[in-house]
A and B are shown apart, each in its own frame.
Chain A
Amino acid sequence: EVQLLESGGGLAQPGGSLRLSCAASGFIFSDEAMSWVRQAPGKGLEWVSVIRGDSPDTFYSDSVNGRFTISRDNSKNTLYLEMDSLRADDTAVYYCARGFRWIDYWGQGTLVTVSS
């Protein structure tokens, strides 16, 4: 059974940093592209970033490019999202997700709140 478990969410100050983690199980992690998708309270889904399965290629939405860094440790089956220079409009539930062109599995999400 595929499982994706996010952690690391919480309260951060504007301009601050936060690191999200996603522990994956139930599939060959290194074979799959992994994405982060976020959803602001009461709003729609927004794709944030993707990292290829077996290469260092990473891509970002314009809204986070230069501030967020996606990475993975295939030996630990773990996906990360390093978030710097956080802004109020980064407040959202962040989902760890398997895939890119379509996403077939989603985690339960972790809430990030940016506020002073």
Chain B
Amino acid sequence: QSALTQPPSTSGSPGQSVTISCTGSSSDVGTYDYVSWYQQHPGKPPKLMIYEVSKRPPGVPDRFSGSKSGNTASLTVSGLQAEDEADYYCSSYGGRNNLVFGTGTKVTVL
């Protein structure tokens, strides 16, 4: 199964908002509400930020929000902070007991 498509990079100034897209197909994102988002700082393991499209685990700031429309999911980071600078990956259940990740997006805080 092919990786989900994300933009390679995006950036914003502190306090601004950035939105990262995650485009799949009708076999994964378009069919299942099992889209999740992960934040990864250099040299660290990923951290779950969003699951089931829009749910936040305990401890994740409400500045992070998720949504989905058709075959595309999105992660929005509002009120950008310096510590939000990281790589972000989406993932989706792809049916037939398969999980597929996105290509990853580097977020830079200017």
Q: List chain A positions with a Cβ less than 8 A from chain B.
A: 35, 37, 44-47, 50, 59, 61-62, 95, 100-109
Q: How far is the CA of A59 from the CA of B95 in the complex (A)?
A: 12
B101 touches A102 (CB 8 A): no
Residues of A contacting B57 in the complex (Cβ-Cβ under 8 angstroms): 104
Contact of B104 among A44, A50, A61, A105 (CB under 8 A): A44
Chain B residue with minimal CB distance to A45? B101
Contacts A/B (CB < 8 Å), 27 sampled: A35-B99, A44-B102, A45-B38, A45-B46, A45-B91, A45-B101, A45-B104, A47-B91, A47-B98, A47-B99, A50-B97, A50-B99, A59-B97, A61-B98, A62-B1, A95-B46, A100-B99, A101-B36, A102-B52, A103-B38, A104-B48, A104-B51, A104-B57, A106-B45, A106-B46, A106-B47, A109-B45
- Measured CB to CB, the closest approach of chain A to B73, in angstroms, equals 13
Residues of A contacting B38 in the complex (Cβ-Cβ under 8 angstroms): 45, 103
- Measured CB to CB, the closest approach of chain B to A65, in angstroms, equals 11
B103 touches A44 (CB 8 A): yes
User: What's the tally of chain B residues with a CB closer than 8 Å to chain A?
Assistant: 23
Residues of A contacting B1 in the complex (Cβ-Cβ under 8 angstroms): 62
A102 touches B48 (CB 8 A): yes
Q: Known contacts A59-B98, A102-B51, A103-B48; can you find 4 more A-B pairs with CB under 8 A?
A: A44-B3, A61-B98, A101-B34, A105-B48
